[in-house]
């Protein structure tokens, strides 16, 4: 490539012949955890009564290695490159980086100088220039003496997964870079280079899969093996109990509720120990008694019927095995990280003087109690199931001791509300199932 040099800082008078040689090498060295790649951008300029510039050559690929793919667990990355003046005179290097598109607008960029590329991994200074890849932050690189180098550090950060989520799970942008060395008013531009930055497996938060105002208990199956179900092992109720997958059955230790928490996140709790939530320990899923963020999950929709469960703290995906404890691994799109949800409805029916509440899954290890109240009154026990391991309760419809539309709920023997949002309609001589039994 050849281009005329700008000469707005040097005046060449009539009859004067000036010969100057300006040589610059701009080398970008980029390191993201491995050996750095090097790109040399070289420009030579000869000025006389006729000014010409030879071609600027790119002898190695280097800026390209700024390209990266963000996953949920790698949303904050750093790298650096080195600019070196190997010309014959001091000069001022400038850098221009441009990128467009939604992902470029949502990817934060921080830029600062350091003594070496290795120092880019140290604490980021408060003076770092800030922007996005779409509006790349400017940086004053000062003057580089002949043979001198400076390191430029770049931090790229995807702060909010919701802002980069896409139905395909993927977005990309291409950044274009060029460098210019200014020596005594002469400008020698480099050849351009590009880097591609993208995301993978960032899906939108799922909506519409649950019914609002009532409890939603699901059978959760990995797409990799629909004969397996999410399982609280051995129907355990202790903190630290294993959460894995096992051959599907009818018991409540394979029923899990997905509860909204904050910022679109959700918590999962097993029906056998509904006071606890599914958390993680050393990359394995367990029951935890805390309701802090270690138990929070992102439920993301991959297709209309399949979902991805992302652990909010670690950014890792729930991965099912086979009759084994679940693991947390980097999201990779495999079917062992994709799940289906089948909501299990709560049934209600009246036959003559008897009412039946159908839980579908047997209680297994705790008694269930059906309660009611009128208006804002206190909750009153209507019927306590006296047996474990039953999937329904039948009792006299006359048990409800008030007339009107009564609120109803079901609790277990630990006091956990398993079902709410239902109504029972009691009229003289007739009791019927109301709303919320779906």
1-14, pLDDT tens digit by residue? Answer: 333 333 333 332 33
Q: pLDDT confidence of 62, banded at 50, 70, 90?
A: low
The mean-pLDDT minimum among 37-41, 216-220, 249-253, 366-370 falls in: 37-41
Q: pLDDT confidence of 22, banded at 50, 70, 90?
A: very low
Q: pLDDT confidence of 293, banded at 50, 70, 90?
A: low
- Look at residues 136, 171, 140 and name the one whose alpha carbon lies nearest to residue 154: 136
Q: pLDDT confidence of 309, banded at 50, 70, 90?
A: very high
Residues 6+ apart with CB under 8 A from 168: none
Encode pLDDT of 49-61 as tens digits: 344 433 222 223 3
Q: pLDDT confidence of 283, banded at 50, 70, 90?
A: confident
Q: Is the pLDDT of residue 379 over 90?
A: yes
Between 303 and 287, name the one with better pLDDT.
Answer: 303
Q: Is the pLDDT of residue 306 over 60?
A: yes
Q: How crowded is residue 185: how many other Cβ atoms within 10 Å of its Cβ? A: 12
Contact indicator for 83, 144 with CB cutoff of 8 Å: yes
Q: Which of 269-273's residues contact partners 24+ apart within 8 Å by CB, and which partners?
A: 270/232, 270/243, 271/217, 271/361, 271/418, 272/232, 272/235, 272/236, 272/237, 272/364, 272/365, 272/366, 273/232, 273/236, 273/237, 273/238, 273/241, 273/414
Q: pLDDT confidence of 41, banded at 50, 70, 90?
A: very low
Q: Is the pLDDT of residue 401 over 60?
A: yes
Rounded mean pLDDT of 83-87? 79
- Residue 270: per-residue pLDDT: 94
- Residue 18: per-residue pLDDT: 32
Rounded mean pLDDT of 62-66? 76
Between 363 and 255, name the one with better pLDDT.
Answer: 255
Q: pLDDT confidence of 146, banded at 50, 70, 90?
A: confident
Rounded mean pLDDT of 150-170? 95
Parallel, antiparallel or unpaired: strands 327-329 and 324-325: unpaired
pTM: 0.83
Percent of the chain with pLDDT over 90: 60
Gap between the Cα atoms of 45 and 37, Å rounded:
27
Between 129 and 235, name the one with better pLDDT.
Answer: 129
Q: Is the pLDDT of residue 157 over 80?
A: yes
The mean-pLDDT minimum among 116-130, 265-279, 290-304, 331-345 falls in: 290-304
Encode pLDDT of 164-221 as tens digits: 999 999 999 999 988 888 887 777 777 788 889 999 999 999 999 888 888 999 999 9
Cα distance from N-terminal residue to C-terminal residue, the chain: 71
Between 230 and 85, name the one with better pLDDT.
Answer: 230
Rounded mean pLDDT of 276-295? 83
Question: What is the secondary structure of 298-341 as a DSSP string?
Answer: EEEEEETTEEEEEETTT-PEEE--SSEE-EEE-----GGG-EEE
Which DSSP letter does residue 235 get?
G
- Look at residues 240, 320, 326 and name the one whose alpha carbon lies nearest to residue 277: 240
- Residue 295: per-residue pLDDT: 84
Gap between the Cα atoms of 271 and 274, Å rounded:
5
Record the tokens describing residue 216, joined without a space.
């939603």
Q: Is the pLDDT of residue 311 over 90?
A: yes
Q: pLDDT confidence of 314, banded at 50, 70, 90?
A: very high
- Residue 35: per-residue pLDDT: 33
Q: Is the pLDDT of residue 282 over 90?
A: no
Rounded mean pLDDT of 326-330? 96
Gap between the Cα atoms of 24 and 277, Å rounded:
61
Q: Is the pLDDT of residue 388 over 60?
A: yes
Q: pLDDT confidence of 292, banded at 50, 70, 90?
A: low
Contact indicator for 170, 102 with CB cutoff of 8 Å: no
Contact indicator for 23, 43 with CB cutoff of 8 Å: yes
- Residue 269: per-residue pLDDT: 94
Three-state SS letters, 33-78 = CCCCEEEEEEEEEEECCCCECCCCEECCCCHHHHCCEECCCCCEEE
- Residue 165: per-residue pLDDT: 98
Q: pLDDT confidence of 291, banded at 50, 70, 90?
A: low
Average pLDDT, the chain: 84
Which DSSP letter does residue 17 get?
-
Length of the chain: 438
Contact indicator for 27, 84 with CB cutoff of 8 Å: yes
């Amino acid at each position: 490539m050849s281009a005329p040099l700008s000469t707005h800082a040097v005046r060449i008078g009539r009859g004067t012949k000036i010969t100057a040689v300006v040589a610059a090498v701009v080398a970008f060295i980029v390191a993201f955890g491995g050996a750095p790649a090097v790109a040399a951008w070289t420009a030579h300029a000869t000025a006389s009564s006729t000014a010409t510039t030879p071609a600027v050559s790119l002898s190695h690929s280097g800026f390209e290695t700024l390209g990266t793919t963000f996953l949920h667990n790698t949303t904050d990355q750093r790298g650096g490159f080195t600019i070196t003046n190997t010309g014959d005179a001091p000069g001022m290097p400038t850098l221009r980086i441009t990128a467009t598109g939604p992902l470029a607008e949502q990817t934060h960029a921080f830029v600062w100088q350091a003594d070496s590329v290795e120092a880019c991994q140290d604490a980021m200074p408060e003076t770092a220039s800030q922007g996005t890849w779409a509006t790349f932050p400017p940086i004053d690189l000062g003057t580089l003496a002949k043979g001198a180098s400076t390191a430029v550090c770049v931090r790229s950060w995807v702060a909010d997964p919701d802002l980069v989520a896409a139905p395909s799970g993927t977005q990309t942008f291409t950044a274009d870079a060029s460098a210019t060395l200014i020596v005594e008013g002469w400008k020698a531009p480099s050849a351009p280079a590009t880097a591609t930055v993208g995301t993978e497996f960032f899906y939108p938060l799922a909506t519409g899969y649950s019914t609002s105002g009532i409890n939603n208990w699901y059978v959760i199956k990995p797409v990799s093996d629909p004969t397996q179900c999410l399982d609280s092992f051995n129907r355990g109720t202790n903190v630290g109990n294993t959460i894995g997958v096992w051959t599907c059955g009818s018991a409540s230790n394979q029923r899990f509720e997905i509860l909204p928490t904050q910022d679109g996140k959700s918590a999962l709790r097993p029906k056998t120990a509904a006071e606890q939530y599914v958390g993680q320990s050393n990359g394995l899923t367990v029951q935890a008694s805390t309701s802090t963020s270690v138990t929070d999950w992102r439920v993301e929709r991959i297709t209309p019927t399949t979902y991805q469960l992302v652990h909010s703290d670690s950014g890792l995906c729930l991965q099912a095995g086979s009759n084994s404890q679940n693991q947390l691994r980097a999201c990779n799109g495999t079917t062992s990280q994709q799940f289906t949800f089948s909501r299990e409805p709560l049934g209600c029916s009246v036959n003559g003087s008897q009412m039946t509440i159908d839980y579908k899954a047997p209680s297994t290890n705790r008694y269930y109690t059906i309660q009611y109240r009128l208006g804002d009154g206190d909750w009153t026990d209507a019927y306590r199931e006296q047996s474990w391991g039953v999937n329904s309760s039948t009792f006299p419809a006359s048990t409800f001791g008030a007339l009107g539309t009564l609120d109803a709920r079901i609790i277990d023997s630990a006091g956990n509300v398993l079902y709410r949002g239902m109504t029972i309609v009691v009229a003289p001589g007739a009791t019927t199932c109301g709303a919320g039994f779906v």
